[in-house]
Amino acid sequence: MDVRLLGLTAGLLMSSVAAAQIHTATGPAPRPQPAAKKAAHNSMASTTTPFNCQHYRWPSHPHPGVKPYCDRIEARTLQDEARRAGRPGPSDDVISLPALGSEEATRSGRACVGGQAMRKLPDGWEQISSPSGGWQRCRTR
């Protein structure tokens, strides 16, 4: 009896060692898929004027040159960001337009949508180009 038990134990040990050395013939492991490219940062996505330069108008700030300086820095920052991301750049100036969906926007055919000036077309809206170059930035009235 002991011989049979000893033979059974030896057989199990040998088969487990042999099973550990067997490889499947499926080829190399597949490479993981690369992660999707992260979208470039867009300062205009949440607000129309990210630096809020209107806070530096007189009488809030005593120096009259601070607001124009802030406007230039903001425009340059947005243009550089758009250039790095491969998008068309925004305009230097900000105009005042009615909000999308308002009666005035329906009447005039122009609206401010997320800081971008838009013009009504028969089948949708198009972005307005600025006379100074780039797309026209706007602020809702």
pLDDT digits (tens, 9 = 90+) for 85-140: 888 888 888 899 999 999 999 999 999 988 889 999 999 999 999 988 889 998 88
Q: Are strands 135-140 and 90-97 parallel, antiparallel or unpaired?
A: parallel
Distance between CA 73 and CA 65 in Å, rounded?
12
Distance between CA 136 and CA 125 in Å, rounded?
14
pTM of the model: 0.59
Check: CB of residue 110 under 8 Å from CB of residue 95: no
Q: How confident is the model at residue 22 (pLDDT cuts 50, 70, 90)?
A: low
Q: Is the pLDDT higher at 94 or at 13?
A: 94
Q: DSSP H helical segments within 22-141, as ranges?
A: 66-85, 103-108
**pLDDT value at residue 1:** 54
